[in-house]
């Protein structure tokens, strides 16, 4: 569900132009001495701010199409004074326009829209057509970390990963049953877990990587 756009959102984002952009990555993420991790659908920034705080040696970019969410995330980045985060108001559909070939080390897809209707399957961020875009920007050994509460989407995604030639590991349909200490919970993850909904998780990489 799309958030209702608040008045003057663009004006408010102007206060964060040192790390928030529309459709381009600022120079810090071009530092080849650092890994580059990208979150697809940053939402309000709970995940990216936590992981960036834990890993100051890694550059993080968050892509989010909803400017209202980007503003909320930007406030958290500023509050934590994170110099290794960039946020971009951007649609994942055009991801190859802002990242170079084989530039990204890792992609995070956390609780993306499941688009449950069959006719909308191609909109799912784990559909084969998106996977081909990710193949272009990921390094040969790059990985995709995927989490969702939606079992149907998870099973669909595993099928798409196999069709696209990805190897999958650490597959679980109940991540919190034996939650690894490095797991960072998102806002949605806490919400679903509290409601007793199990969390699905896996890590995928292209077999020819």
pLDDT of residue 10: 86
**Mean pLDDT to the nearest integer, 38-61:** 96
Cα–Cα distance measured from residue 101 to residue 113, given in angstroms and rounded to the nearest whole number:
26
Residue with tokens 């993080």: 60
pLDDT band per the 50, 70, 90 thresholds, residue 3: very low
- What 157-164 contacts at long range (C-beta under 8 Å, 24+ apart), as own/partner pairs, is 157/124, 157/126, 157/202, 158/202, 160/126, 160/127, 160/128, 160/131, 161/126, 161/131, 161/202, 161/204, 163/128, 164/128, 164/131, 164/132, 164/135, 164/206
Active site amino acids: 113
Note the pLDDT tens digit of each residue in 21-35: 987 776 666 666 899
Averaged pLDDT of the chain:
92
Q: Domains for the chain: give ranges and CATH numbers.
A: 19-93 (3.40.50.150), 100-209 (3.40.50.150)
| Residue 127 pLDDT class (50, 70, 90 cuts) | very high
User: Model-level pTM greater than 0.85?
Assistant: yes
What is the average per-residue pLDDT within 106-131? 96
pLDDT at 209 over 60: no
């Amino acid at each position: 569900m799309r958030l209702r756009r608040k008045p003057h959102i663009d004006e408010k984002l102007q206060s964060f132009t040192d790390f928030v952009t529309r459709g381009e990555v600022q120079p810090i993420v071009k530092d080849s001495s650092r890994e580059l991790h990208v979150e697809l659908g940053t939402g309000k920034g709970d995940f990216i701010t936590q992981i960036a705080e834990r890993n100051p040696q890694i550059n993080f970019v968050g892509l989010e199409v909803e400017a209202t969410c980007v503003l909320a995330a930007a406030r958290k980045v500023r509050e934590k004074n994170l110099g290794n985060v960039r946020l971009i108001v951007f649609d994942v559909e055009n991801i190859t326009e802002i990242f170079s070939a084989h530039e990204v080390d890792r992609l995070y897809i956390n609780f993306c829209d499941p688009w449950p209707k069959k006719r909308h399957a191609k909109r799912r961020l784990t559909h084969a057509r998106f996977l081909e875009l990710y193949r272009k920007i990921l390094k040969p050994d790059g990985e995709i970390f995927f989490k969702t509460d939606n079992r149907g989407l998870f099973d669909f995604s595993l099928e798409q990963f196999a069709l696209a030639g990805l190897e999958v590991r650490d597959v679980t349909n109940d991540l919190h049953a034996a939650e690894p200490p490095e797991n960072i919970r998102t806002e949605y993850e806490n919400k679903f877990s509290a409601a007793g909904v199990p969390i699905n998780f896996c890590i995928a990489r292209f077999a020819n990587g």
